[in-house]
Amino acid sequence: MQKRRLGRSELDLTVIGFGAWAVGGPWLYGWGRQEDDASIAAIQCALDQGINWIDTAHVYGFGHSEEVVGKAIRGRRDRVLVATKCSRLPDGQGGAFGRLKAASVREELEGSLRRLGVEAIDLYQIHWPEPEEDIEEAWVEIAKAVQQGKVRYAGLSNFNVPQMQRLESIAPIASLQPPYSMLRRGIEEEVLPYCKKQAIGVVAYSPMVSGLLTGKVTAQWVASLPEDDWRKRFNKEFREPNLSANVDLVERTLRPLGEKHGVDPGQVAVAWTLRHPVVTSAIVGGRNARQVEQTVRAAQVQLSDADLAAIEEGLKVREAKLQP
């Protein structure tokens, strides 16, 4: 699989990374029940298919995702780069709150190292800039961890340009992890140009919008989701009127393009995210080996100018449907 250099680091990432959000199992923002054996099989399939990096976080199942990743990569550490995140702690009610004090960052880091079973984390990221007044304190602590050899490179997730500017004088920013898909393009205006100028790598998450653009989503499918699946409870794109407009985009635009390239609509959505020259890699989750085998095909899709124009037209139609 093609690799791209992550900003100014020495990390070469495959253009698709394995996202371990869902393998954390049930929690407030989880995807419902998930069997660990299926998760481990999915991760190992990803490595066998050529994916060379995994993205997880402490908050994904409050450590459970990291534990599963640790089991899956045991004996394969030399074949995989591991990224994880800090800053989200359990609130005692199934959700999380933000904490970025030096002591909490140290505690989270040590816990992640232990759960993952590694001596150093390849990419350690602040998950959210919350509380914002403490981002410098956390970044100083992560910079210390880099000096100590516990972290190879430090990155950020969900930060805007002014927040990144505040941290650059403290320590280099290897990467930014923002949401980016054809339905969430807000970073195109300021964030992506800034990352290009500063040579900050971009690892985009949710290119298929939490499965929305895979081609399997219908109103009946959403209704069948378990009640503890966060998409059913919190994501407006899975509710009307957005749902019908999104399904129409998939069926009228992405599915025909997928048939043209011999892939599913979801692989077209991932390829669309990867077509941006500033994006290093797209993070795609997988709950079983079959999903992973489908995902990796997106790395081979090269969208033409005509394909991109068709997607833009489809997005205009979708927006028109959502106008009041």
Active site positions, annotated: 60
CA distances from 14 to 30, 41, 177, 214 (A): 26, 19, 15, 21
CA–CA distance, 96 with 171 (Å, rounded to integer): 27
Cβ neighbourhood burial of 181 (10 Å; 0-12, 13-18, 19+):
buried
CA–CA distance, 207 with 192 (Å, rounded to integer): 15
CA 261 to mean position of chain CA atoms: 24
CA–CA distance, 310 with 252 (Å, rounded to integer): 10
- Please say whether the beta carbons of 64 and 25 come within 8 A: yes
